Amino acid sequence: MGAKVEYGAGAIERSIVTHALFICGKARMRSPTAADIAMLWDGIKADFAGLSNDADEHLSVEQIEWATVIFVMERKQRARLSKLFGTALKGKRIICLNVPDNYEYMQAELVALLTPKLMSLLRIG
């Protein structure tokens, strides 16, 4: 999996860069795959996190503040995100990718599903 993003004083970026934050339940399969795909493209910085109590990478307010755009994998995650971080989400663009939780990390079918969606939404190519 890709390197985690650092926040704080060293996190100042040019406005040309899109900061894409990918969120799923446990941050084990879908969101790290999406982040690793997005980081392949110029002008995109990506990070990932999970909303579950047992997530490998727990979502933080700092990640939300850093993000230009936030992607969730399922509608229920968008609702939970709003419940947990409502005020921090003010003015943030949140997109549901509608990706079910039945893939492994970097599984070919998951990559094939995510790549065209992300290229379109992130305006790549």
Instruction: Please state whether 27 falls in left (phi above 0), alpha (psi between -120 and 50) or beta.
Output: left
Instruction: Decide if pLDDT at 115 tops 70.
Output: yes
Amino acid at 7: Y
> Residue 56: enclosing H or E segment and its boundaries?
none
Among candidate residues 70, 102, 68, 99, the one with its CA nearest the CA of residue 84: 70
Band of residue 5 on the pLDDT scale cut at 50, 70, 90: low
* pTM of the full structure: 0.87
Higher pLDDT, residue 122 or 16: 122
The model's pLDDT over 43-90, given as tens digits with 9 standing for 90+, comes to 999 999 999 999 999 999 999 999 999 999 999 999 999 999 999 999
Among candidate residues 69, 83, 88, 86, the one with its CA nearest the CA of residue 23: 69
Instruction: Decide if pLDDT at 13 tops 70.
Output: no
CATH code linked to domain 16-118: 3.40.50.2300
